[in-house]
Structure formats: C-alpha cells, structure tokens
C-alpha cells in the first residue's frame, strides 16, 4: 500500500551542502548568510527590507511592539486561521475582532467596515492556504480609516495579487519558514517584509536585545534572532520556490479536474496566483472520507477544526464574540489533501482514485 504524507520538506544535495558550508564557517548567528537571505527575500518579495526572526510569531510580536500596539487597541482578523495569527496582538494587550470569511477562505472584505470602531488600529488579512486575500479592498478601507495593514503571508510565499507578491502591499508582511510551508528552513523561522526603513531598523534592534552595536543597547529588546545554518538552507529554497510552487499548482489543477464533481474544490480568483500551501476540499462526509483515506495510506488534515472565536483561550477572555456562520460551517466540512512541491502526479491520481472510490464514482 502506498504511503502519501500530507506534506514533505524540500531536501536536496544543494541544501545539505549549504548547511555544511554554514556549519563550517565558524559564524552562526546574524552574519553573512542571514544578511544575504534578507536581501534576497526583500528582492523576491518586492520590498526594500526583510528582517529575519526566530519564528512568524516572534516577528509579528516585535512588529506589534514597534508599531505601538497597546492594551485596548482592536485589530480586525479572520477567525478562520492558525491561532498564532492572533497570539502576538493579545500578548500586546490588543483585542482580535473576528471577521467571517468568503468562498476563498480569506476574510470577507464586505464585512470589514461594519467591524471598525474608534479603537480599531489595523487589519490583519490572512492569505490562507496560499490564496491571497482581496488586498485592493482591504487597502482601500485601511486608507479611508487610517489603519495599518499587516499581511499574514505564513502560507503564501510566492503568491501574487494582481501580479504583485504578497507581503509587498501592506505596511508589512509576515512569513513563516516552518517545515510544512512552501519555503522552509527545516525548522522554525520567519521574517517581516516592509518598505519602512525606520520600522525595519527597529525590528533588527528588538530581535537582538535592543542593540545596534555589541555593547550599546538603545532599546529593551528580546532574543528572537535567526541563525546562519537555516539562512543558508533558506537561500537554496528561495531559488527553487517558483519551480516548487508551479508544481503545487499542477497538483491542484489535477485535483480540481478529477474531484470537482464529488466534492467542493477550492476556488481561485482571476486576480490571484495561488500557491496552494494546502489543497482544501469540502464535503459533508469529511470525517468518513478522512478515515477511508487513512486506510489507503493517505494522510489528510483539517486546517482548522476549531475557529479562533471558539478556542477556549479566547472564550475565557471575551464575552462579546460574534457569530460567524460561514466560518462555523466550513470547519465542519474542510479536509486538506496531500500537496507539496515534489508530489508525484501518479500519487495525486492515487488520492483521486481513492476519493472517487469512496463516493462510488470509480
């Protein structure tokens, strides 16, 4: 029986040699490999600056700190996202104001303005599953109400909105290099992209104990630094990401072609270039299908079974949580199928055959 994982890291001899090069360099934190990776990330994304951090969560916490997010502030964010999307703002004392989603699983832009209050300071659109949110509308609303926009690009490295890379259109973008992501460093890691030089400079100090030079601390900072070995690995992955994303799109196209008659397949807007971090279908028979596929050696996932406005940590904190009917409906039906940059199309067909067998169509 085949064994098909949900995801798999990109690993090659070039990756191994890059790690070995960094290992033998004698320098391990925030030196040449990190500096080069930051420059290459900024160039790839289309921003002036990229600041590496120990994780997406750490980077966004520093960003909220640098932007002055404070207790009593409100940030608009979809509930249907990974819990880390909201952790940093809560640690700063701000309140997540949850917005429902549209058919792309991204925040429904038609619901944003009604959620804005005098306490709203920003919008955090999530480019979920690798499909960009409708940034034109988000940015239009943000300008009208004088709000900042932080793009959550954790699942969308290389995705484009109207031809522009995600992470280049808001005040800042935040990326994750967790092992399952489209671009990984084979461990935790993340970066913040921005055109704001002063903001980037402050982030670089905050991640490294608040200092510009070794013994002079201009701020009280943190230790959220990045390392040379993972930077060297990431540089190789960045050179390969467009090729790997193109293959993800071929996998997604095969799934859509073969499965659209038996399940609800993910849409892709005309203005979007989605990179399919996840390929997520919907079916009322989700749990039975997942069990069936497990018996066929096919791994699946649910991203995410519990929306953030229903998470115990949140319901203990807030009593005025909204009803989000679209979010609450999809979490009962969504199922993530195997997808990664080197998944063989014959394995995709095996997954499709198994799903069609389950529905009695084969």
Q: Are 98 and 77 in contact (CB under 8 A)?
A: yes
Check whether 82 has a pLDDT greater than 80: yes
Are 281 and 219 within one domain? no
> Tens digits of per-residue pLDDT, 69-78?
999 999 999 9
Asked if residue 6 belongs to a domain, the reply is no
Crossing angle of helices 286-295/345-358, nearest 10°? 120
Q: What CATH number is attached to the domain comprising 94?
A: 3.40.640.10
What pLDDT does 293 receive? Answer: 98
* Dihedral class, residue 170 (left if φ above 0, else alpha if ψ from -120 to 50, else beta): beta
pLDDT confidence band for 361 (50 / 70 / 90): confident
Asked if residue 5 belongs to a domain, the reply is no
Are 36 and 138 within one domain? yes
- Mean pLDDT confidence for 154-169: 98
Check whether 93 has a pLDDT greater than 70: yes
- Mean pLDDT confidence for 163-192: 98
What pLDDT does 22 receive? Answer: 98
Mean pLDDT score across all residues of the chain:
97
Are 226 and 249 within one domain? no
Are 121 and 183 within one domain? yes
Are 251 and 203 within one domain? no
> Tens digits of per-residue pLDDT, 116-128?
999 999 999 999 9
Are 257 and 212 within one domain? no
Asked if residue 310 belongs to a domain, the reply is yes
CA distance 293 to 116: 43
Could you tell me the two tokens for 348?
Answer: 């995709």
Instruction: Give the end of a domain, one of 190, 207, 235.
Output: 235
Check whether 148 has a pLDDT greater than 90: yes
- Mean pLDDT confidence for 168-179: 98
Check whether 129 has a pLDDT greater than 80: yes
Are 269 and 307 within one domain? yes
What pLDDT does 1 receive? Answer: 82
CA distance 174 to 129: 15
Are 231 and 250 within one domain? no
DSSP 361: -
Detail the DSSP E strand segments found in the chain: 49-53, 74-78, 95-99, 120-123, 148-152, 160-161, 164-165, 172-176, 190-194, 211-213, 216-217, 272-273, 279-282, 334-337
What pLDDT does 362 receive? Answer: 59
> Tens digits of per-residue pLDDT, 295-316?
999 999 999 999 999 999 999 9
Are 31 and 51 within one domain? yes
Asked if residue 275 belongs to a domain, the reply is yes
Are 142 and 126 within one domain? yes
Asked if residue 3 belongs to a domain, the reply is no
Are 326 and 184 within one domain? no
Q: What CATH number is attached to the domain comprising 342?
A: 3.90.1150.10
Domain that holds residue 173: 13-235
Instruction: Give the end of a domain, one of 235, 259, 292.
Output: 235
- Mean pLDDT confidence for 200-208: 98
Asked if residue 94 belongs to a domain, the reply is yes
Least confident of 84-88, 98-102, 169-173, 209-213: 209-213
Crossing angle of helices 56-66/197-206, nearest 10°? 120
Asked if residue 111 belongs to a domain, the reply is yes
Angle at CA of residue 59, ends 309 and 215, nearest 5°: 145
> Tens digits of per-residue pLDDT, 43-56?
999 999 999 999 99
pLDDT confidence band for 65 (50 / 70 / 90): very high
Instruction: Give the number of domains in the chain.
Output: 2
Determine the 3-state secondary structure of 345 from DSSP. helix
Asked if residue 156 belongs to a domain, the reply is yes
Instruction: Give the end of a domain, one of 235, 255, 285.
Output: 235
> Tens digits of per-residue pLDDT, 8-46?
999 999 999 999 999 999 999 999 999 999 999 999 999
Strands 211-213 and 160-161, bridge-based pairing: unpaired
Are 17 and 147 within one domain? yes
């Amino acid at each position: 029986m085949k064994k098909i994982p949900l995801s798999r890291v990109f690993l090659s001899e070039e990756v191994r040699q890059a790690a070995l090069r960094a290992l033998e360099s004698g320098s391990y934190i925030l030196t040449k490999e990190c500096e080069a990776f930051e420059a290459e990330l900024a160039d790839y994304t289309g921003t002036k600056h990229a600041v590496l951090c120990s994780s997406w969560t750490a980077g966004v916490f520093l960003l909220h700190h640098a932007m002055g997010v404070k207790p009593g502030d409100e940030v608009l964010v979809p509930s249907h996202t990974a819990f880390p999307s909201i952790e940093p703002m809560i640690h700063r004392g701000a309140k997540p104001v949850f917005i429902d989603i549209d058919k792309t699983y991204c925040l429904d832009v038609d619901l944003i303005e009604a959620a804005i209050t005098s306490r709203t300071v920003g919008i955090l659109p999530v480019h979920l599953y690798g499909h960009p949110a409708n940034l034109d509308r988000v940015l239009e609303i943000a300008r009208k109400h004088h709000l900042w926009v932080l793009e959550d690009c954790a699942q969308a490295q290389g995705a484009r909105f109207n031809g522009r890379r995600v992470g280049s259109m808001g005040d800042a973008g935040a990326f994750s290099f967790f092992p399952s992501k489209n671009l990984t460093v084979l461990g935790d890691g993340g970066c913040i992209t921005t055109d704001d030089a002063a903001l980037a400079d402050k982030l670089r100090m905050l991640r490294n104990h608040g200092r510009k030079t070794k013994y002079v601390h201009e701020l009280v900072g943190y230790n959220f630094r990045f390392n040379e070995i993972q930077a060297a690995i990431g540089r190789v992955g960045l050179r390969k990401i467009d090729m790997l994303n193109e293959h993800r799109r071929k996998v997604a196209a095969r799934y859509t072609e073969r499965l659209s008659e038996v399940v609800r397949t993910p849409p892709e807007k005309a203005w979007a270039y989605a990179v399919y971090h996840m390929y997520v279908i919907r079916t009322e028979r989700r749990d039975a299908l997942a069990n069936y596929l497990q018996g066929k050696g096919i791994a699946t996932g649910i991203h995410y079974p519990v929306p953030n406005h229903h998470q115990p940590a949140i319901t203990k904190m807030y009593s005025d949580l909204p009803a989000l009917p679209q979010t609450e409906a999809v979490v009962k039906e969504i199922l993530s199928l195997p997808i990664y940059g080197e998944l063989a199309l014959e394995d995709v067909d095996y997954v499709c055959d198994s799903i069609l067998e389950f529905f009695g169509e084969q």
